[in-house]
Copies of this chain bind each other. A is one copy, B any other.
Amino acid sequence: MLSNNQLKLLVSLQQKKYRQKYRKFIVEGEKLVGELLLQKTFQTEALFGTERWADANVALAPYFLQKFNAVTEPELKKISALTTPNQVLALVQMPDTEPIPVFPRTGFHFFLDGLRDPGNLGAVLRVADWFGMSWVCCAPDTADLYNPKTVQASMGAVLRVKSLECSLPELLAANPNMPVLGAVMDGENLFQTLLPANGIVVIGNEGAGIRPEVAQLLTRHITIPRAPDGHAESLNAAVAAGIIAAWVYAASSS
């Protein structure tokens, strides 16, 4: 049974301003909620699930008895951001804002310079989570990490990869002399260049690319080479992020 206040709160969290106001967001579906309940960084405040989900997850009951609210499928449909709601939805507290990290001497991190599509942001979080990049730092106008579409597209990576909103100068103030790699149109051939052992990989906005004020801070301009018979003007931003991450990972692990 869902109260009107719960309904109102949960639906409001599909909008960024309410997520920021209440410092809460939503994680949906059997798989993602299962992962949520197994980790310790994010606090789950309440669960809204079908009786079927509860029956299939009795093992979790001791931990969540006080937090579980049985809802009907029609109720779930009302609060879900998914086209096809999937059994359970969790109300989750946003973690406290992390201080600007000081990065270790090895390894790479992303700085996203205004990536706008939540699907792309989710895919980049998966890339970071796959290649063991511990931080994804986002310029303030990047898509919201806790947008339901980002959470879904990240397949749970948003719960595992560390992230924060900051500017590149702030990041560099805490990490002076850190190599800053950016994908541009006329840089060094990624496939033929010697890469540093650590660095920040900057990914620009889908349409506009890396902003001039951020481009000024790049220490390495790299380019994913296009085939002589290729005609695309650009790659999807998450695909480009994946190719660069794969390359720096392969170079550092070989």
A103 within 8 A of B: no
Q: Which residue on chain B has the smallest CB distance to residue A206?
A: B155
A residues 234-254 touching B (CB-CB < 8 Å): 234-236, 238-243, 246-247, 249-250, 253-254
A170 within 8 A of B: no
Distance in Å from the Cβ of A38 to the closest Cβ of chain B? 11
Q: Which among A122, A155, A157, A254 has the highest number of chain B CB atoms within 10 Å?
A: A155
A160 within 8 A of B: yes
Among B130, B191, B233, B253, contact of A235 (Cβ-Cβ < 8 Å): B130
Q: CA separation between A160 and B130, bound complex, in Å?
A: 32
Q: Which residue on chain B has the smallest CB distance to residue A244?
A: B246
Q: CA separation between A5 and B204, bound complex, in Å?
A: 42
Distance in Å from the Cβ of A246 to the closest Cβ of chain B? 4
**Stoichiometry, copies per complex:** 2
11 of the cross-chain contacts (CB-CB < 8 Å) are: A123-B236, A126-B234, A126-B235, A127-B239, A130-B224, A130-B226, A132-B230, A156-B232, A156-B233, A224-B246, A225-B253
A129 within 8 A of B: yes
A56 within 8 A of B: no
Q: CA separation between A203 and B153, bound complex, in Å?
A: 18
A residues 174-233 touching B (CB-CB < 8 Å): 191-192, 224-233
Q: Which residues of B contact A160 (CB under 8 A)?
A: 231-232
Q: Which residue on chain B has the smallest CB distance to residue A228?
A: B132
Are the C-beta atoms of B232 and A129 separated by less than 8 Å?
yes
Q: Which residues of B contact A236 (CB under 8 A)?
A: 122-123, 126-127, 153, 238, 242
Indicate with 1 or 0, residue by residue over A122-136, a CB within 8 angstroms of chain B CB atoms. 110011011110100
